[in-house]
């Protein structure tokens, strides 16, 4: 009797654990369902959508996905970075100008250098915020002018220049044609940098200062240093975004794209609370996929591109309103 | 502990900090004067009444858009849709003036702005969406619709309405800009409204402590909806004046003013977390930014260096200001 109950208990546990996991990640799962539905819809309206479509999609998504991961990290730490677009522009032009007419091997050194540059830009952002105690949004807003100006100093107009291997890293596909390299690259980078980090002391501290700065301070977290580290990671991913811009287009463009504000949108869409301390980086990536796929679908429907901007805005508003409605109902229960 | 006893304990150093904290006008005026003197040193003989008129004229649209940010920031919000709404309003009037006429154009532009503000307000007030994200979404919608409108109404010229040009660019006696006819009453309304009306005090209350405000009977959602409608209407007026100043009507005209409008409000001492600040500081902040960018142009730096210095100086001013006025 008791043995039978024990087995029943054991059987129930994984199921309950699964339910609990699904509940915790409900928002991201919902987004994945929405993404699946969108993919089916895409196939329906454009039966030719296949390998090429998916590949082009993955490549066009890569820079924005990096920007979204960058934004997610500093938002989780309770900040916000409005200089991501400018940092991407700066790192992209530095990569393009340094790789121009150089050997392939030199390109490796350039990539490493650009990543370090990204870290450095992030450390500067973070240090200014911590030292001056001016709100994050104000500092990064002002720094977006600084980095954007620096990009213009490096390169006044778009110039081509990218090592061939860097382009090969992003373009094309692996094994069977359905899996684009860009998607693999994104997953590998996130898996190598973010997943181990989350389990470290630093990862936990980042969530802690985002969730409650005073409580984190009182439990012995060095708030200032953690914040600088979070912004350094944001800078690193912004540099990865800049590199993927250079790699996928083959040029460096000193004018910041729409990445800053879209990354904020993707982060919120991906279930990261702007108040900090909650969410992850996979939700924002799925958010980016949805935002870009909707844009593609509207193009397939040969809708006026301006109306697609309207639709993007409305979908952003709608999803976020829906989300806060759910939260509000949960709060009342 | 009352303020008087605390300042007595803190001594004279705490005393002047307190004065600065409660009178942000003093340090801001000092910064403005320093910048003007710097300009006079860079370009001897240029600083006169005529120059002051040009600076004031250029500062008016920024001061109006920064007013939108000030009101939103007092409640702990922010309004990133001011750029899209302002550009849209200026463009709509210019596109309608040759057909249906100026008044119809004004009515359509203001109605569109009102609807955009209503949408933001409903999202922030009722659905409790973060103002940053809500106003960003609305700005996409407004920009997209304005673009679609642009394609529908094939326009003959890119210029703007003569009436706007008069208000935006002309000056009384070559000194006082005509736009003061709009701006001075508007600023007076904001200043009196914030200090003397129940609505103004509720903006501060919601930003300072939303729970306390609700418990004392303020209907936060109504206050917020009205706030974002007012902000959008003000942005539209700012857009009219800006299109008159630049003689351009384009759907992205005011986009470059969005970030400076936030910066002006912040430099002016309005807290981005809500509950603290006012419009006098914001006006001075807008003037400071205008003189600063004129100074950087006068120094003859290329665009890139100007951008870098502009950003660095905003950080420096905000940092100095925070340091001086922070309670510690």
Measure the CA–CA gap between A36 and A287, rounded to whole angstroms. 12
- Mutate which of B304, B305, B320 to test chain A, going by most A C-beta atoms within 10 A? B304
Residue B65 above 90 pLDDT? yes
- Tell me what pLDDT residue B316 has: 87
**Residue A18 exposed, middle or buried by CB count within 10 Å (0-12, 13-18, 19+):** exposed
The DSSP string of B131-195 is: HHHHHHHHHHHHHHHHHHHHHHS--S-S---HHHHHHHH-EETTTEETTHHHHHHHHHHHHHHHH
CB pairs under 8 A between A and B: 148
Give A66-107 pLDDT, tens digit per residue: 999 999 999 999 999 989 999 999 999 998 888 877 777 787
Contact A321 B129 (CB under 8 A): yes
- Mutate which of A89, A129, A141, A260 to test chain B, going by most B C-beta atoms within 10 A? A141
B151 CB near a chain A CB, below 8 Å? yes
Give A211-262 pLDDT, tens digit per residue: 888 999 998 889 999 999 999 999 999 999 999 888 887 777 887 777 887 8
Of B123, B144, B309, the CB nearest to A309: B144
Contact B140 A316 (CB under 8 A): yes
Residue B292 above 60 pLDDT? yes
Q: What residues of chain B lie within 8 A of the CB of A268, using their CB?
A: 130, 133
Residue A196 above 50 pLDDT? yes
Contact A308 B307 (CB under 8 A): no
User: Going by C-beta distance under 8 Å and a sequence separation of 6 or more, which residues neighbour residue A110?
Assistant: A95, A98, A99, A102, A163
Q: What residues of chain B lie within 8 A of the CB of A325, using their CB?
A: 127
**B133 Cα to chain A: minimum distance (Å):** 7
Structure tokens at A162: 């990218």
Contact A132 B323 (CB under 8 A): yes
Q: What residues of chain B lie within 8 A of the CB of A328, using their CB?
A: 128
B9 CB near a chain A CB, below 8 Å? no
Give B95-154 pLDDT, tens digit per residue: 888 878 889 989 999 999 999 999 999 999 988 888 988 898 899 899 989 988 888 776
Are A184 and A65 a contacting pair, CB within 8 Å? no
Torsion of CA A259, A260, A264, A266, to 10 degrees: 10
- Specify the range with the lowest mean pLDDT, choosing from A24-33, A162-171, A189-198, B60-69: A162-171
**A169 Cα to chain B: minimum distance (Å):** 32
Mean pLDDT of B23-39: 88
- B128: region left, alpha or beta (phi > 0 left; psi from -120 to 50 alpha): left
Contact A152 B140 (CB under 8 A): no
In this predicted model, which residue has the larger pLDDT, B236 or A185? B236
- Tell me what pLDDT residue B34 has: 92
In this predicted model, which residue has the larger pLDDT, A53 or A77? A77
Q: Which residues pair with A180 in a beta bridge?
A: A173
Total domains present in chain B: 1
**B305 Cα to chain A: minimum distance (Å):** 6
Structure tokens at A283: 């939700």
Are A40 and A299 a contacting pair, CB within 8 Å? no
Contact B148 A306 (CB under 8 A): yes
B46 C-beta neighbours (distance < 10 Å), count = 12
**A226 Cα to chain B: minimum distance (Å):** 21
Determine, yes or no, domain membership for B3.
no
Determine, yes or no, domain membership for B93.
yes
Determine, yes or no, domain membership for B204.
yes
- Tell me what pLDDT residue B255 has: 85
Closest Cα in chain B to A138: B263
Single pTM value for the model = 0.83
- Specify the range with the lowest mean pLDDT, choosing from A171-180, A296-305, B64-73, B137-146: A171-180
**B12 Cα to chain A: minimum distance (Å):** 24
Residue A8 above 60 pLDDT? no
- Tell me what pLDDT residue B328 has: 44
Closest Cα in chain A to B259: A141
Q: Which residues pair with B251 in a beta bridge?
A: none
Of A132, A264, A328, the CB nearest to B322: A132
- Determine the structural domain holding residue B164 and report its residue range: 46-325
Measure the CA–CA gap between B80 and B235, rounded to whole angstroms. 11
The residue count of chain B comes to 328
* Chain B (106-145) residues lying within 8 Å, Cβ to Cβ, of chain A: 119, 123, 127-130, 132-134, 136-141, 143-145
Residue B9 above 50 pLDDT? no
Q: What is the mean pLDDT of chain A?
A: 82
Residue B206 above 80 pLDDT? yes
Q: What residues of chain A lie within 8 A of the CB of B273, using their CB?
A: 135
Residue B10 above 60 pLDDT? no
Determine, yes or no, domain membership for B280.
yes
Are A39 and A293 a contacting pair, CB within 8 Å? yes
Measure the CA–CA gap between B129 and A79, rounded to whole angstroms. 18
A171 C-beta neighbours (distance < 10 Å), count = 17
Torsion of CA B237, B238, B241, B242, to 10 degrees: -150
Of A149, A316, A325, the CB nearest to B308: A149
Residue B225 above 60 pLDDT? yes
Determine, yes or no, domain membership for B12.
no
Contact B144 A317 (CB under 8 A): no
User: Going by C-beta distance under 8 Å and a sequence separation of 6 or more, which residues neighbour residue B82?
Assistant: B65, B68, B69, B231, B232, B235, B238, B254, B257, B258, B261
Check which CATH number belongs to the domain holding B143 and give it.
1.10.3470
B85 CB near a chain A CB, below 8 Å? no
Q: What residues of chain B lie within 8 A of the CB of A145, using their CB?
A: 259, 307-308, 310-311, 314
């Amino acid at each position: 009797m008791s043995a039978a109950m024990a087995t029943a208990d054991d059987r129930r546990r994984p199921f309950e654990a699964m339910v609990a996991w699904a509940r915790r990640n409900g928002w991201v799962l919902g987004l994945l369902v929405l993404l699946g539905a969108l993919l089916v819809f895409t196939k329906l309206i454009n039966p030719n959508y296949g390998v090429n479509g998916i590949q082009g999609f993955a490549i066009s998504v890569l820079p924005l996905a990096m920007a979204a991961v960058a934004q997610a990290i500093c938002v989780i730490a309770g900040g916000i970075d409005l200089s991501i677009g400018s940092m991407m522009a700066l790192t992209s032009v530095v990569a393009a100008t340094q790789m121009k007419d150089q050997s392939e091997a030199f390109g490796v050194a350039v990539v490493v250098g650009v990543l370090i540059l990204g870290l450095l830009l992030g450390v500067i952002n973070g240090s200014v915020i911590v030292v001056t105690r001016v709100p994050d949004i104000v500092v990064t807003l002002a720094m977006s002018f600084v980095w954007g100006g620096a990009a213009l100093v490096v390169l006044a107009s778009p110039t081509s220049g990218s090592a061939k291997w860097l382009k090969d890293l992003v373009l094309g596909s692996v094994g069977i044609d359905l899996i684009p390299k860009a998607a693999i690259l994104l997953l590998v980078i996130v898996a190598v940098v973010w997943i181990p980090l989350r389990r470290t002391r630093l990862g936990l501290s980042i969530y802690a200062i985002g969730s409650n700065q005073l409580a984190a301070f009182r439990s012995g977290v060095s708030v200032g240093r953690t914040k600088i580290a979070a912004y350094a990671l944001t800078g690193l991913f912004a540099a990865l975004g800049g590199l993927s811009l250079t790699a996928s287009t083959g040029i460096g463009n000193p004018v910041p794209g729409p990445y800053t504000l879209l990354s904020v949108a993707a982060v919120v869409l991906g279930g990261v609370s702007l108040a900090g301390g909650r969410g992850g980086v996979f939700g924002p990536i799925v958010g980016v996929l949805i935002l870009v796929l909707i844009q593609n679908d509207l193009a397939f429907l040969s809708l006026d591109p301006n109306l697609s901007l309207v639709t993007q805005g409305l979908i952003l508003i709608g999803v976020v309103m829906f989300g806060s409605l759910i939260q509000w109902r949960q709060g009342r229960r | 502990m009352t303020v008087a006893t605390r300042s007595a304990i803190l001594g004279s150093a705490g005393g002047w900090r307190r004065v600065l904290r409660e009178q942000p006008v003093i340090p801001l005026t000092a910064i403005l004067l320093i910048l003007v003197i710097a300009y006079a040193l860079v370009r001897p003989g240029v600083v006169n009444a005529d120059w002051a008129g040009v600076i004031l004229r250029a500062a008016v649209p920024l001061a109006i858009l920064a007013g939108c940010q000030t009101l939103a920031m007092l409640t702990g919000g922010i309004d990133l849709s001011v750029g899209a709404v302002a550009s849209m309003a200026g463009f709509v009037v210019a596109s309608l003036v040759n057909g249906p006429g100026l008044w119809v154009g004004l009515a359509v532009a203001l109605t569109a702005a009102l609807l955009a503000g209503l949408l933001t307000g409903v999202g922030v007030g009722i659905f409790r969406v973060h103002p940053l994200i809500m106003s960003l979404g609305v700005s996409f919608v407004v920009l997209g619709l304005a673009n679609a409108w642009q394609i529908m109404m094939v326009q003959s010229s890119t210029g703007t309405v003569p009436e706007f040009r008069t208000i935006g660019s002309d000056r009384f006696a070559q000194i006082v800009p005509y736009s003061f006819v709009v701006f001075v009453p508007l600023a007076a309304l904001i200043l009196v409204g914030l200090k003397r009306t129940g609505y103004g005090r509720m903006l501060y209350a919601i930003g300072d402590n939303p729970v306390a405000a609700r418990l004392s009977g303020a209907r936060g959602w109504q206050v917020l909806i009205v706030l974002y409608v007012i902000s959008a209407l003000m942005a539209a007026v700012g857009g009219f004046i800006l299109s008159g100043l630049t003689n351009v009507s384009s759907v992205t005209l005011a986009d470059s003013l969005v970030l400076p409008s936030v910066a002006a409000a912040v430099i002016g001492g309005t807290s981005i977390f809500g509950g603290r600040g006012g419009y006098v500081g914001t006006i001075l902040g807008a003037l400071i930014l205008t003189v600063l960018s004129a100074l950087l142009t006068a120094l003859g730096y290329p665009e890139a260096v100007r951008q870098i210095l502009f950003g660095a100086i905003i950080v420096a001013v905000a940092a100095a200001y925070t340091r001086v006025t922070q309670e510690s």
